[in-house]
């Protein structure tokens, strides 16, 4: 049964007539449009007793794309993911996957896989038994447990109790649980949290592999740099509200680029650059010049006959860009 579609400008057009399934004509903003693998969050709000954890949040994740869901700690990322998964009730708004709320998915594990926090295991149970229990509940063959354990490299620890697992192993087990139904959509909440550098590298590579298989992935993180190489799109939130959405490439372009020059003839070069250039002199022999290319600086120096010891492009800190969108007080409320 399809729930009533909320009407109003924020929802775009009203629902398509019953029985109509031509995707081309279905409005892009209709959260109930039956487009497999698409995630729609529309006007989502969660009011806890005192705190508005998520505030009129809207975004879509298109099938096959990998989206970074970014925000500082306490921004509402986990609450949003849990609302998407039907674990937390919504105060208002809707969240759908493939056009349906999670509770209405026929076989949820085959449609959506989720890896939330890595502490959700019975410590006295083995990793393999944890997965067998989920297989039984989700109508999946129990052989899937062994398959996903192999996939995440956990076969040697399969029959050990979870209490003996390291943080990295728990993260892998959580990921394995999400992959049980071989779902097209994956929701991952801070999958690299608490991992050592080697674990982080493994997790990144693994996620890239999943993305390359054409899965829709929504991965949350409080570090932009953490996911910048993996994701296509970003949704940045702070205080439960959307702050910035778009291609990660566009966001990266916003990161200020500077050219770093080392020369023993700083004054000569300054004169040659002219007064318009945004120049910071960091030492007697070093300059940073904003909003120019290193090629241009090289040409100017060459024309002025200034000998240059070093010329390089410096990418401003990615986190600076991220902070610029999220910095409006601490995430602790």
Q: Which secondary structure element, helix H or strand E, spans residue 252, and what is its range?
A: helix 248-254
Q: Which secondary structure element, helix H or strand E, spans residue 202, and what is its range?
A: helix 197-212
Query: What are the backbone angles phi and psi of residue 266, rounded to the nearest 5°?
Result: -60, -45
CA triple 239-242-248, angle to 5 deg: 120
Compute the distance between CA of residue 285 and CA of residue 127 in angstroms, rounded to an integer. Answer: 59
CB 189 within 8 A of CB 221: no
Q: Is residue 163 part of the contact set for other proteins (CB under 8 A)?
A: no
Q: In a 3-state reduction of DSSP, which class is residue 111?
A: helix
What is the DSSP code string of 140-167?
Answer: --THHHHHHHHHTT-GGGTTSBGGG--H
Residue closer to other proteins (CB basis): 34 or 86? 86
From the list 85, 95, 228, 235, which residue makes contact with other proteins (rule: CB under 8 A)?
85
Q: Is residue 193 part of the contact set for other proteins (CB under 8 A)?
A: no
Q: Is residue 82 part of the contact set for other proteins (CB under 8 A)?
A: yes
Residue closer to other proteins (CB basis): 78 or 326? 78
From the list 108, 191, 199, 240, which residue makes contact with other proteins (rule: CB under 8 A)?
108
From the list 39, 61, 70, 105, which residue makes contact with other proteins (rule: CB under 8 A)?
105
Residue closer to other proteins (CB basis): 78 or 230? 78
CB 11 within 8 A of CB 42: yes
Q: Which stretch binds other proteins (CB under 8 A): 133-141, 149-157, 288-296, 303-311?
A: 133-141
| Residue 233: CB minimum distance to other proteins, A | 24
Q: Is residue 212 part of the contact set for other proteins (CB under 8 A)?
A: no
Residue with tokens 């999946």: 140
Q: Is residue 134 part of the contact set for other proteins (CB under 8 A)?
A: yes
| Residue 65: CB minimum distance to other proteins, A | 22
Binding residues for other proteins, per CB under 8 A?
Answer: 78-79, 82, 85-89, 102-103, 105, 108-109, 114, 116-117, 119-126, 129-130, 132-134, 136-139, 177
């Amino acid at each position: 049964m399809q729930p009533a579609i909320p009407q109003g400008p924020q929802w775009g057009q009203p629902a398509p007539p019953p029985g109509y399934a031509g995707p081309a004509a279905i409005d892009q903003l209709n959260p109930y449009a039956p487009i497999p693998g698409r995630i729609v969050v529309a006007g989502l709000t969660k009011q806890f007793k005192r705190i508005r954890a998520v505030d009129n949040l809207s975004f879509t994740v298109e099938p096959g794309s990998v989206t970074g869901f970014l925000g500082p700690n306490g921004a509402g990322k986990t609450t949003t993911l849990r609302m998407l998964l039907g674990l937390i009730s919504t105060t208002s708004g809707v969240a759908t996957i493939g056009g349906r709320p999670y509770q209405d998915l026929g076989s949820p594990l085959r449609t959506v896989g989720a890896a939330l926090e890595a502490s959700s295991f019975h410590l006295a149970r083995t990793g393999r038994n944890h997965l067998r229990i989920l297989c039984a509940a989700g109508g999946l063959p129990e052989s899937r447990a062994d398959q996903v354990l192999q996939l995440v490299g956990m076969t040697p620890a399969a029959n050990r109790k979870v209490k003996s697992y390291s943080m990295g192993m728990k993260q892998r087990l959580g990921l394995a649980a999400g992959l049980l139904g071989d779902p097209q959509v994956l929701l991952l909440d801070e999958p690299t949290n608490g991992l050592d550098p080697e674990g982080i590298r493994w997790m990144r590579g693994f996620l890239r592999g999943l993305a390359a298989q054409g899965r829709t992935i929504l991965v949350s993180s409080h570090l932009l740099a953490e996911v910048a190489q993996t994701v296509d799109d970003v949704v940045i939130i702070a205080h439960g509200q959307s702050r910035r959405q778009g291609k990660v490439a566009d966001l990266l372009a916003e990161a200020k680029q500077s050219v770093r020059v080392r020369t023993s003839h700083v004054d000569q070069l300054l004169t040659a650059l002219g007064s318009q250039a945004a120049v910071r002199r960091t030492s007697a022999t070093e300059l940073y010049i904003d909003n120019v290319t290193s090629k241009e600086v090289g040409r100017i120096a060459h024309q002025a006959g200034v000998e240059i010891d070093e010329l390089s492009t410096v990418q401003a800190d990615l986190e600076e860009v991220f902070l610029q969108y999220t910095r409006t007080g601490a995430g602790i409320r």
